[in-house]
Amino acid sequence: MIRPHLAGLGLAIGLTALPLAANAAGEVTEFTLDNGMQVVVIEDHRTAAVTHMVWYRAGSADEQPGQSGIAHFLEHLMFKATDDLESREFSRIVEENGGSDNAFTSWDYTAYHQRVAADRLGLMMEMEADRMRDLVLAEDEVVTERQVILEERAQRTDTSPGALFNEQLAAATYLNHPYGRPIIGWRHEMEELSLQDARDWYERHYHPNNAILVVAGDATPDEVRALAEEHYGAIPANPDIEAQETRERPSEPPHIAQRRVIYEDARVANPYVSINYLAPERNAGAQEEAAALTLLAEILAGSGFTSVLPREMQLEDERSLFVGAYYGGTSLDETTFTLINMPLPGTSLEQAEDHILAEVDEFLEEGIDPAQFERIMFQIEAARIYEEDDAAGLARAYGAALASGLTVADVQAWPDVLAATTIDDVMEIARELFAEEATTIGYLMQPSPDEAAEPEADAAAAAASQPTAEPEDAAEAGADGADASTPETAPMTEEVSQ
């Protein structure tokens, strides 16, 4: 099978993306520095390398109105000068030490990471601690870098009908909560972001007691503690952060109206319908609902062959090119559950919407095939084994969870919570979710024929590819920076890289 919009490469079956994160080995240690900086160590001594990550509890959803994109813009500017380092010297030193570094911004966090030989861990901490407090911003660099993020927006979003559609759909889904704003920012606001805006953002959020250090690889907790105390421990906590810890954001009012978004673009080759439901996220000590929703998405569309929706709509009835169900539970605030149906040519999106909703109704009637449920449960067990092979991946999972309000204990309990979920639990949450009528329904489609004659309606379809992947990295490309322009990407897992 080939997934439309993904190239004809990377065809894969088996082991779909069950978002686990807990390694069976249990070699995860956590502690907190005196200044409040949280530390997680994930041991993997198979190779003499470490992943060093610093996560700030500050993402685009923490931005003030009118400042969209500042979290991501500051992330770019963090690679400029500090009082000790020249502009871009941070990356130069990482590279001279054979390492790689990057950063990414999401709604709930901003993270900086390097992968280096294990004996360079102290150096990474020294530099990361330096830029946590001593960034020096210059006006001319801010102006040039603003041009870079505008080009980034052009490449990721403005040239891609799918990305523009996702942006509009999110904006319509959240009436009040800032998850409705694009991480990269609205262009008209990005154009106005200033040096002072960047400084203010930095001063407000970049403090040790607002940060999480994650080290994964060939390092012991004792080594990490000693190095972290030396480099990060000297930075004073900001007492004002305490009040921000709960990160109160504008909350969603009850949704009482269905919303419809129609985005027309002449470059749309494969129109599709997308249906958003608001859904609960994983919460500390209370992950059961999120686990049931995770399994629901897996049961509905986790496998292109054996899941409910692809089986019925792609394989048996052959009405759809592609159907998907997405749920990203790792989120600070209320998240979304999304259904997508890309019909075969010749079927209208109205019909496609009816088809997938009818299929969901049928699922609610018929329930879950116990054999399918058993296979998924076994895959969850197996994922604990496979995940041990990827310490850097575990580092990301822990960091994202902790920056989204979860604890190490929650992350470690997650596979068990999934495993304890029953068919009845999944059906109960499914009935609740799909009873929701105030959904947001989006159509991504070509303009109607008379509008299509207007050349101005055209815009390009472009995949937001990583711009700097070297070809020898092709097998590994895409490790950073999710591509949000394909319908396969769950809206809430989007990240924007440096």
Partner 1 sequence: MIARFLTPLVAALAFAVPSYADIVNIQPVTSDGGIEAWLVEDNSIPFVAMDLWFEGGGSIDRPDARGAVHLMTALLEEGAGDMDAQTFAAELEGLAASFSFDIYRDELVISVQMLTQNRGEVLALLRDVLLEPRFDEDAVERVRGQVLSVLEADANDPDTIAAAEFNALTFGDHPYGSRLEGTPESVAALTRDDLIAAHRSALVRDRVSVGVAGDMSAEELGPILDTLLGDLPTSDVALPEPSEVSDVGGITVVDFPTPQSSVYFGHAGIARDDPDFFPAFVMNQVLGGGGYRSRLMEEVREQRGLTYGISTWLGLSKSAPMMQGGFSSSNALVAEAIEVVQDEWAEIAENGITEAELAAAQQYMTGAYPLRFDGNSTIAGILAAMQADDMPIDYIASRNDNVRAVTVEDIQRVAAELVDSDALHFVVVGQPEGLPTEN
CA 419 remoteness from chain centre: 24
Active site annotation includes 75:
yes
How many residues form the binding site for partner 1 (CB under 8 A)?
102
Two structure tokens written together for 425: 């639990």
Find the binding residues for partner 1 in span 391-450 (CB under 8 A): 391-392
Residue (38 or 60) nearer to partner 1, CB:
60
Is the CB of 385 or the CB of 438 nearer to partner 1? Answer: 385
Residues 241-270 that bind partner 1 (CB under 8 A): 266-270
Cα angle for residues 53, 56, 62 (degrees, 5° grid): 150
Cβ atoms of 451 and 263 within 8 Å: the answer is no
Interface positions, 444-483, toward partner 1 (CB under 8 A): 455, 458-463, 465-477
488 is a contact residue toward partner 1 (CB under 8 A): no
84 binds partner 1 (CB under 8 A): no
Catalytic residue among 30, 43, 63, 75: 75
Closest to partner 1 by CB, 172 vs 457, is: 457
Between 144 and 422, whose beta carbon lies closer to partner 1?
144
Which one of residues 34, 86, 134, 147 is an interface residue with partner 1 (CB under 8 A)? 147
User: Radius of gyration (Cα) for the chain, nearest Å?
Assistant: 23
For position 13 contacting partner 1 by CB under 8 A, the verdict is: yes
* Residue recorded with tokens 């899941």: 307
Would you count residue 194 as binding partner 1 (CB under 8 A)? no
Nearest to 380 by CA among 488, 294, 479, 281: 294
Q: Which of 86, 92, 358, 409 binds partner 1 (CB under 8 A)?
A: 92
- Residue 307 or 440: which CB sits closer to partner 1? 307
Q: Say how far apart CA 494 and CA 480 lie, in whole Å.
A: 11
Q: Which stretch binds partner 1 (CB under 8 A): 52-60, 63-71, 222-230, 388-396?
A: 388-396
* Contacts (Cβ under 8 Å, ≥6 apart) of 469: 477, 478
Rounded to whole angstroms, the Cα distance separating 287 from 280 reads 9
Half-sphere exposure of 490 (CA within 13 A, CB side): 22
CA 73 remoteness from chain centre? 17
Q: How many alpha carbons fall within 13 Å on the CB side of residue 145?
A: 25
Please report how close the Cβ of residue 447 comes to partner 1 at its closest, in angstroms: 13
Alpha carbon 369 to its chain centroid, in Å, reads 30
The residue written with tokens 């999106």 in the block is 349
Contact predicate 103/113, CB 8 Å:
yes
Among 344, 357, 413, 423, binds partner 1 (CB under 8 A): 344
**Alpha carbon distance 200, 54 (integer Å):** 20
Q: Which of residues 200-229 bind partner 1 (CB under 8 A)?
A: none
Q: Which of 158, 334, 354, 436 binds partner 1 (CB under 8 A)?
A: 158
Residue 463 C-beta: closest distance to partner 1, Å: 4
Separation CA 383–CA 23 (nearest Å)? 9
Q: What are 321's two structure tokens?
A: 């090119």
11 binds partner 1 (CB under 8 A): yes
CB of 268 vs partner 1, minimal distance in Å:
8
* Residue 105 touching partner 1 (CB under 8 A): no
Please select the residue that binds partner 1; options are 99, 178, 328, 405, rule is CB under 8 A.
Answer: 99
Residue type, 165: F
Our CB check for partner 1 shows the closer of 33 and 462 to be 462
Residues 353-382 contacting partner 1, CB under 8 A: 371-372, 374-376, 378-379, 381-382
CA distance 30 to 221: 8
Q: Footprint of partner 1 on residues 265-304 (CB under 8 A)?
A: 266-270, 303-304
Instruction: Tally Cβ neighbours within 10 Å of residue 203.
Output: 13
The bridge status of strand 259-264 relative to strand 440-445 is parallel
Stretch that binds partner 1, among 153-161, 278-286, 289-297, 429-437 (CB under 8 A): 153-161
Cβ atoms of 425 and 377 within 8 Å: the answer is no
Q: Which of 52, 72, 115, 355 binds partner 1 (CB under 8 A)?
A: 115
Nearer to partner 1, 266 or 368 (CB): 266
* 96 scored as a contact of partner 1 (CB under 8 A): yes
Q: Which is nearer to partner 1, 392 or 492 (CB)?
A: 392
Active site residues: 75
